[in-house]
Amino acid sequence: MRRHELIVIGAGPAGLSAAIEAKKAGMDVVVFDENERPGGQLFKQIHKFFGSREHHAKVRGFRIGQELLQEAESLGVDVKLNSVVMGIYENKEVTVKKDNAVNHYKADAIIIATGAAENMLPFKGWDIPGVIGAGAAQTMMNIQGVQPGSKVLMVGSGNVGLVVSFQLLQAGCEIVGIIDAAPRVGGYGVHAAKVARTGVPFYLSHTIVEAKGTDCVTGAVIAQVDDRFQPIPGTEKELSVDTICVAVGLTPMAQLASNATCDIALLPQKGGHVALLSKCGETSVEGIYCAGDVAGIEEASSAMIQGRSVATYVCLKAGYLSEEEFQEKYDRYQAALGQLRQGMFSPENKGRNDFTVTDEGYPVSSNLLAHGYMTEDELDNFPAYTYKKAGVHPVIECTQNIPCNPCQDSCKVGCIKVGENITMLPAIDEEKKCVGCGMCVASCSGQAIFLVDETYGEGYATVAFPYEFIPVPQVGDQGTALDRQGKPVCAADIVEVKKSSVMDKTVVVTMKVPLAFVNSARFYKAGGQRG
């Protein structure tokens, strides 16, 4: 039996952050993780995160993972990998299986940071090879470097479904469609819009009826659903796909908390059964805590802060932090968490679909929720879209209150203002002159900012847009401009291509289009019919 002051279970964003915080304060901490590599699911996240600077906004998930690992390593945090925690027993005794041996450990405090598991959806043929979880798709393409399939149907339009769809496109796969039984896109509108503009169709109020195939998936039958989510006969449609990717939510993995006799409750807004926690993250069993997705499904950004916050309380109880030190850190972390937990998609608004206006009073787009992209009429309600000025200027198609403000930080001339409350929509300061640097375009995690110049001359305008695919268009290329749903609208000539290390692989591409298409041209594809 080995003793430690603190045992952390899970080396994902919450667990690692907790261990770092405790180790920094001087505690003797050990982390167990069943995986071969630490970092949990962070290393699969190749998109730029939301939030503000203190939440690592506009940094890609895997880079945040690298930073976290470096911090843990430099502090000498002991992370034991391939170590499965089998159970938590009386007096905080823990059994750990590694290499076919079981060892016993004991601690004064235990932080459970086991994360979440993917939900599944049973349908006819769901067990045929080729039906995979969204996480599996991410593992294959972003960790292993292998395409999960070539023609993919995405089931689920929450943030996971949308983000993974975009990543599948980046990996060179085709997305045949995104379906959701709900009548509205579940994830951020900006995530939907960046997929829709590549031409991916959205089928809302649709469910999967059947996966076709015997040895592997050869097709998918989808159908429209009624208001009780039942398939409507006669609306079936067969799609030719080899992969069906299921992204229908996550469930906290609270088994260890349950096993440790912590009080558990079914809380749908937290994603399932979770341990009941004090405001400092302690379960009903003294000295046992939960942090991260196991305490309720949120983003990795929240999990990291929760881990740190819970650990500060553990440090206080163990005498490693004074009351004042604790209070200062705790308040700071709670304030940071509070910022992330605001807006239309906050945990307390989970499942709400009755928003008709933004916090600013602008009508929300119904087309965005039904089809994944906005109409020009709807965008006309948003001042950061309609703003016009001679010369180059930003056009911002960010229309939902989500916690994010890198656009404000990225603008050196102060053109873009979000303000103290980071869920407010970005506004354009008309007094400041845009210099066309493109930093806002590259820093917007939702890829919702464009630089437009209606006065380019001779009946032409330019539109600069973010581009994260290969091959990257080159100056002089002639191709086709696509609109917000990926439909070809006009010929486009590439006139500028900006790359830089601070933009971190988001290339800002500028295309020249006829002035008449300046409000519709939002993406580009090589080739196509011109004229």
Partner 1 sequence: MRIIQHPILGEYEKGEKVHFTLDGEDMTGFEGEAIAAALKAAGIMIHRYTVKEHKPRGLFCAIGRCTDCVMIVNGQSNVRTCITPLEEGMIVQTQYGVEAQEVWEANNK
Q: Are 416 and 394 in contact (CB under 8 A)?
A: yes
According to DSSP, the β-strands at 84-89 and 93-98 are antiparallel
Minimum Å distance from CB 23 to partner 1? Answer: 27
Q: Which is nearer to partner 1, 131 or 452 (CB)?
A: 131
Helices 323-340 and 300-317, interaxial angle, to 10°?
Answer: 160
In this chain, which of 1, 36, 476, 531 binds partner 1, going by CB under 8 A? 36
In this chain, which of 81, 136, 267, 495 binds partner 1, going by CB under 8 A? 136
Q: What is d(CA 288, CA 110) in angstroms, rounded to the nearest whole number?
A: 5
Report if residue 66 touches partner 1, rule: CB under 8 A.
Answer: no
Encoded tokens for 18: 């907790």
- Any alpha helices (H) in 341-405, and if so which ranges? 366-371, 376-379, 383-386
Residue pointed to by tokens 């354009």:
428
Over the window 95 to 124, marking each residue x when it contacts partner 1 by CB under 8 A and - when it does not, the resulting string is: ----------------------xx------
In this chain, which of 46, 110, 379, 449 binds partner 1, going by CB under 8 A? 46
Q: Which of 42, 41, 22 is nearest to 111 (CA)?
A: 22
Site residue total, partner 1 (CB under 8 A): 37
For residue 252, whether the previous peptide bond is cis, meaning omega lies within 30 degrees of 0, is no
How far, in whole angstroms, is CA 25 from its chain's centroid?
31
Q: Which is nearer to partner 1, 95 or 119 (CB)?
A: 119
Q: Are 120 and 248 in contact (CB under 8 A)?
A: yes
Footprint on residues 334-373 left by partner 1 (CB under 8 A): none
Q: Which of 257, 292, 204, 243 is nearest to 15 (CA)?
A: 292
Q: What is d(CA 60, CA 504) in angstroms, rounded to the nearest whole number?
A: 8
Q: Which is nearer to partner 1, 387 or 469 (CB)?
A: 469
Report if residue 500 touches partner 1, rule: CB under 8 A.
Answer: no
Report if residue 147 touches partner 1, rule: CB under 8 A.
Answer: yes
Report if residue 34 touches partner 1, rule: CB under 8 A.
Answer: yes
Report if residue 127 touches partner 1, rule: CB under 8 A.
Answer: yes
Report if residue 35 touches partner 1, rule: CB under 8 A.
Answer: yes
Report if residue 445 touches partner 1, rule: CB under 8 A.
Answer: no
Partner residues linked to 406 by β-bridges: none
Encoded tokens for 413: 């001339």
CA torsion, ordered 134, 139, 145, 151, to nearest 10 deg: -20
Q: Which is nearer to partner 1, 103 or 150 (CB)?
A: 150
Report if residue 86 touches partner 1, rule: CB under 8 A.
Answer: no
Minimum Å distance from CB 294 to partner 1? Answer: 15
Footprint on residues 153-182 left by partner 1 (CB under 8 A): 170-172
CA torsion, ordered 63, 67, 73, 76, to nearest 10 deg: -150
Q: Which is nearer to partner 1, 46 or 427 (CB)?
A: 46
Over the window 214 to 243, marking each residue x when it contacts partner 1 by CB under 8 A and - when it does not, the resulting string is: xxx---------------------------
In this chain, which of 79, 107, 110, 132 binds partner 1, going by CB under 8 A? 132
Query: Under 8 Å CB-to-CB from 514, ≥6 apart: which residues?
Result: 459, 460, 461, 490, 491
Report if residue 280 touches partner 1, rule: CB under 8 A.
Answer: no
Residue pointed to by tokens 């405090």:
109
In this chain, which of 505, 515, 525, 528 binds partner 1, going by CB under 8 A? 505
Q: Which is nearer to partner 1, 91 or 214 (CB)?
A: 214
Q: Which is nearer to partner 1, 29 or 169 (CB)?
A: 169
For residue 92, give the H/E element and its range: none
Per-residue DSSP letters for 35-64? SSSSSTTGGG--SBP-B-GGGTTTSBHHHH
Encoded tokens for 461: 């305008």
Q: Which is nearer to partner 1, 468 or 493 (CB)?
A: 468
N-to-C CA span, the chain? 77
Interacting stretch for partner 1, rule CB under 8 A, among 21-29, 143-151, 308-316, 432-440? 143-151
Interacting stretch for partner 1, rule CB under 8 A, among 208-216, 315-323, 344-352, 399-407? 208-216
Minimum Å distance from CB 316 to partner 1? Answer: 34
The number of C-alpha atoms within 13 Å of 200 and in the hemisphere containing its C-beta is: 31
Minimum Å distance from CB 171 to partner 1? Answer: 5
Minimum Å distance from CB 95 to partner 1? Answer: 19
Footprint on residues 457-486 left by partner 1 (CB under 8 A): 468-470, 472
Binding site for partner 1 (CB under 8 A): 34-36, 46, 60, 117-118, 127-133, 135-136, 139-142, 144-148, 150, 170-172, 214-216, 468-470, 472, 505
